Structure 1
Amino acid sequence: MKAIHETKFEFPGQTAFYRGKVRDVYTIGDRLVMVASDRISAFDHILPRPIPYKGQVLNQVATYFLNATKDIAPNWLESTPDPNVAIGMACKPYRVEMVIRAYLVGHAWREYAAGKRTLCGVSMPDGLRENDPFPEPIITPATKAEEGHDEDISREEILRQGIVSEEDYLILEKYTRALFKRGTEMAAKQGLILVDTKYEFGKKDGKIYVIDEIHTPDSSRYFYADGYEERQERGERQKQLSKEFVREWLMANGFQGKEGQQMPEMPDEMVNKVTQRYIELYERITGQAFEKAKTGDIEDRIYKHVVGALG
């Protein structure tokens, strides 16, 4: 199976190019062309091998949720002319990610297990076990790093540093909670629990928009609802659809993104497993069968679709 590690297009009218962790972003006038590659990142490092169909899953799940939430928060998306491509308006991004957590898991659990009871200025109650729900979802922002690790930051520090104005931050919080509520409801209908996620926002002509992906396996964590309570009672690991299993594989192979550590290369069996997990999430969260795009000449396919969409 062919996969996209990186792209190097020269589109008509192209004025800028930026390579993110998993997306290649082309600026054409006041629009962005985001190509979802098959790169996969963990611990803020890009793994050596791409994952076939991951970019298609990422792009199509993001499109699904952006279209399903535009009534509660305006977003940047205009069209998806190719399974791996999204085109939309260019906004000036805020330098924070709005992370919202409904359960004590992942980074929050690692901090909690280390004895901390405050995360990003938000208190976490005593007596919780891993994967327990919080009394109510908490917002734990992170600074958006150009390279390397994103850093936890409190609401108070964001306002003190002037990273976001108080007026805008209140809107970001409102949108974050509304989007998470909608995502939680949609996941529940498919037998899933939306555990935590992150949202990115930008501004254009004085208006705030959701930018980038939402509720994808790269930005979110899902538990299976069936059996959740029983697994918690027995102290068992939760069955989940997220990138956490990739992180766990890396940790088991001696890599946590720390200085001096050598990133292992995934064997074919693990690459295929990751592909299947991404496809499974798409089908579970959308209730639709995943249709694999033709991968014979992905770059040529993408180029023709983008040029055709831009006119």
Structure 2
Amino acid sequence: MLSRDTLQQQLAFTIAEIDVPGLGDKIQGKVRDSYVLGDRRVLVTSDRLSAFDVILTTVPFKGEVLNRMAAYWFNATKDIVENHIIDVPHPNIFVARQVEILPVEVIVRGYLTGSAWRDYSAGKDVSGVALPQGMKKSQRFDTPLLTPSTKAERGEHDMPISCAEIVSSGLVEKSLWSEVERVAQELFAFGSKEAASRGLILVDTKYEFGTYLDASGKRRLVLADEVHTSDSSRYWISASYAERYAAGEDP
């Protein structure tokens, strides 16, 4: 466990900007920067902290923690869906297959909280889903709710979109979207079970998917970006959930 003193000493050495000479043009994201090398993509995870689509600051070792968590979960879920990871040559770096990323983020929610609660309490649907009346904040859904959003450019805000709109607008073809929905629910069920075994609740999470053509010309779905990390997911402590929920407190 890192001490507060150690973290403070490292504040001057966080990875805020990334420059890798010889890898070509950098594609900058909110947290990860990447370089395309033929059919491979090198992703470097920085220490940048992003919230509500805005970069706020940097946190010592954050990039390494995220990268290691993602590597663990990509390996743990590889029997559910193929992923884009080829190698992890450095604590902050992935080498991944170059894939065509789907133009939507797939958010799965096990509990009514966050932006879903804000929309619900304002009388709005949640990504096109009309929820029952009388639900409470932090209440568990009988079936996890899939609430996609658009993928915003850096500095812009992601916007909710319904599953029906994704298909009708042509963002994702119908059969592929059906596969995405199935896989997302399987991933969330697996993540929830693993979290529960460690005294945690996987509250909600974000998945990103892509596709590539295999040797036979078949388009294959792959899990990309990150999975079940502290950046892409919300966790609660299992032991205190029931008491805090009953008291109307945030778990």
* 1:83-122 equivalent positions in 2, closer than 5 A: 83-116=91-124, 118-122=125-129
Deviation at 1:217, TM superposition (A): 1.0
Structure (1/2) with the larger helix percentage: 1
Paired position in structure 2 for 1:135: 142
Correspondent of 1:31 among 28, 35, 40: 40
Distance between the aligned counterparts of 1:8 and 1:16, measured in 2?
Answer: 10
Q: Does 1:7 align with 2:15?
A: no
Distance between the aligned counterparts of 2:77 and 2:24, measured in 1?
Answer: 30
Using CA pairs below 8 Å that are at least 6 residues apart, which structure has the higher relative contact order? 1
Letter of the structure 2 residue corresponding to residue 227 of structure 1: S
Correspondent of 1:79 among 45, 69, 87: 87
Letter of the structure 2 residue corresponding to residue 191 of structure 1: G
Distance between the aligned counterparts of 2:52 and 2:128, measured in 1?
Answer: 23
Deviation at 1:112, TM superposition (A): 1.4
Paired position in structure 2 for 1:54: 62
Paired position in structure 2 for 1:270: none
* 1:217-236 equivalent positions in 2, closer than 5 A: 217-236=230-249
Distance between the aligned counterparts of 1:89 and 1:140, measured in 2?
Answer: 27
Percent identical: 45
Residue aligned with 1:180, SS: helix
**Alignment TM-score, normalising by the size of structure 1:** 0.74
Distance between the aligned counterparts of 1:83 and 1:180, measured in 2?
Answer: 25
Q: How big is the alpha-carbon RMSD for the aligned residues of Structure 1 and Structure 2?
A: 1.0
Q: Does 1:43 align with 2:52?
A: yes
Give unmatched runs, 5+ long, in structure 1.
239-311
Correspondent of 1:67 among 75, 78, 90: 75
Paired position in structure 2 for 1:272: none
Paired position in structure 2 for 1:268: none
Q: Deviations over 1:50-72 (max 9, x none)?
A: 11011011101111100000001
Structure (1/2) with the larger strand percentage: 2
* 1:202-281 equivalent positions in 2, closer than 5 A: 202-205=210-213, 206-238=219-251
Q: Does 1:192 align with 2:192?
A: no
Paired position in structure 2 for 1:161: 169
Distance between the aligned counterparts of 1:145 and 1:227, measured in 2?
Answer: 35
Deviation at 1:80, TM superposition (A): 0.8
Residues 24 and 37, structure 1, Cα contact 8 Å, conserved in 2 = yes
Residues 33 and 87, structure 1, Cα contact 8 Å, conserved in 2 = yes
Letter of the structure 1 residue corresponding to residue 227 of structure 2: I
Residues 193 and 224, structure 1, Cα contact 8 Å, conserved in 2 = yes
Number of equivalent positions: 234
Deviation at 1:15, TM superposition (A): 4.5
